[in-house]
Structure 1
Amino acid sequence: MIPINNWSEDLKPLLLKYKGRKHPLEYQNLYQLMVMVILSAQDSDANINKIAPSLFNVYPTLESLSVSNIEALSSHISKVRNFGTKAAWLIEIAKTLKKDSNIPTTMEELTALKGIGRKSANVIMREAGSPAEGIIADLHVIRVAPRIGIINEVKDGNKVEKQLMQSLQKDIWGEIGMAISFLGRETCRPTNPKCGECPISLICYYYNNQS
């Protein structure tokens, strides 16, 4: 890890580029976002975006989902990885919350629901505009944050989030995770990263230590 004293300042170009950009999941409301975030676990955003329109035509609200069953729901999400387990989670959540207006936007309440861990909760809270209680640590962040030099390399998302929370000032928690994720998707690719296009290459450990 490189000794940077003020990450808020050094990461400012990254935040300026991506702050406020909508998540790649193509949702229309908080209900759709929650469902799509749960479905996207261990799957791609692109795949979830493909199946979402037909799914929400049949299940436009939590109320409609709550009166369904696992078998019926599974037939609409069968192209999603682990669809059976996710169908069970969604039905249980729908029966628990009952209607869209009851969808929570705090870490404690969200992670109390089946199928929603800290990463998913952070995404939902960010998109809902709720005060950040953590930092999004998706697969892109897990790969890119150590490459930049913010944290040590670990593969567990919760450990990555904990390290990031220790390294970064709280005033940037709400946006920095998604900003690093977008950087990983667009520029800081696993192989042949586009360092010449990176807004923070000058403070990047990887860029400054290439042989």
Structure 2
Amino acid sequence: MDLFGDSDNWSGKLAPVLKQYEGRKHPLDYHNRYQLLIMVVLSAQDSDAHINSIAPAFFETYPNIASLSVTDIDSLLSHISGVQNFNNKANWLLEIAKNLKKDSNIPLTMHGLTALKGVGRKSANVIMRESHVPAEGIIADLHVIRVAPRIGLIPETKDGIKAEKQLMQVFTKAIWGEIGMALSFLGREICRPKPKCPICSIKDICNYYR
């Protein structure tokens, strides 16, 4: 017996959420894979809205990995000094750029992406999902970590890696690429810290609502 419930049953129960959000673009306003990679690294412990606001000026100065790889730390810091943990992120971005050298070298596997500085499993899952490659995990951001235990999918946890592993036991691999982002959108729009339960499409199967 599955520790966290019947995977096929949960896939069916959450079909309305998948239908509502499947294929919707991530809130980071990127226009190519290079921009997505940079914005995902910058957005850790920061908001997507804030990263979207600084992105145009950043990418005007650094339109690709090649241009980023030849800049210096002081110039880079002037573009991201308002970002959370900006010193570390500047060093991570420079190391990524110097190692990859050009946009076409951005990896699209979990192993390849998580080998990059500042890219953990959550970030790698986002990049792979947005790049439409087969999923090797499930996005487990702060919204998913809040929503999944509320519904009854997994026990409550603050550990994104633990939450992801548990969700991978719940869901069939066929929906790994979409279910995490769908739950994230649900958490952003409806299942917020103060949830809007009456308008939720899955309230009838939700432990919190019941």
Q: TM-score range by the shorter chain?
A: over 0.9
In the comparison of the two structures, how many residue pairs are matched? 207
Counterpart-to-counterpart distance in 1, 2:192 and 2:91: 35
**Aligned partner letter, 1:46:** A
**Aligned partner letter, 2:151:** I
Pick one of 52, 56, 62 that aligns with 1:49.
Answer: 52
Q: Does 2:185 correspond to 1:182?
A: yes
**Aligned partner letter, 1:173:** W
- Matching residue of 1:158: 161
Counterpart-to-counterpart distance in 1, 2:133 and 2:26: 15
Identity percentage of aligned residues? 69
- Matching residue of 2:207: 205
**Aligned partner letter, 2:173:** K
Counterpart-to-counterpart distance in 2, 1:4 and 1:170: 14
CA contact (8 A) 1:43 1:81 kept: yes
Counterpart-to-counterpart distance in 1, 2:166 and 2:6: 14
* Greater Cα shift, 5-14 or 81-90: 5-14
Deviations 1:90-119 (A, max 9, x none): 000000000001111110000001000000
- Matching residue of 1:33: 36
Give TM-score, length-normalised by structure 1.
Answer: 0.96
Counterpart-to-counterpart distance in 2, 1:195 and 1:72: 47
Please provide the CA RMSD for this pair: 1.2
SS in 2 for 1:132: coil
CA contact (8 A) 1:30 1:128 kept: yes
- Matching residue of 1:68: 71
Give TM-score, length-normalised by structure 2.
Answer: 0.96
Q: Does 2:26 correspond to 1:23?
A: yes
Return the offset for 1:4: 4.9
Runs of 4+ in 1 over 6 A off after TM superposition: none
Counterpart-to-counterpart distance in 2, 1:8 and 1:171: 10
Deviations 1:2-29 (A, max 9, x none): 8555111111100000000000000000
CA contact (8 A) 1:165 1:173 kept: yes
CA contact (8 A) 1:154 1:160 kept: yes
CA contact (8 A) 1:7 1:169 kept: no
**Aligned partner letter, 1:81:** Q
Counterpart-to-counterpart distance in 2, 1:197 and 1:4: 26
SS in 2 for 1:205: coil
Deviations 1:128-182 (A, max 9, x none): 0010000000000011100010000010100000110011111110000000000
Counterpart-to-counterpart distance in 1, 2:40 and 2:27: 11
Q: Does 2:171 correspond to 1:168?
A: yes
**Aligned partner letter, 2:103:** D
CA contact (8 A) 2:40 2:123 kept: yes
SS in 1 for 2:80: coil
Return the offset for 1:57: 0.3
Counterpart-to-counterpart distance in 2, 1:88 and 1:2: 40
What residue ranges of structure 1 are gaps of 5+ in the alignment? none
- Matching residue of 2:94: 91
Counterpart-to-counterpart distance in 2, 1:200 and 1:71: 49
What residue ranges of structure 2 are gaps of 5+ in the alignment? none
Counterpart-to-counterpart distance in 2, 1:161 and 1:2: 12
- Matching residue of 1:129: 132
- Matching residue of 1:195: 197
SS in 2 for 1:76: helix
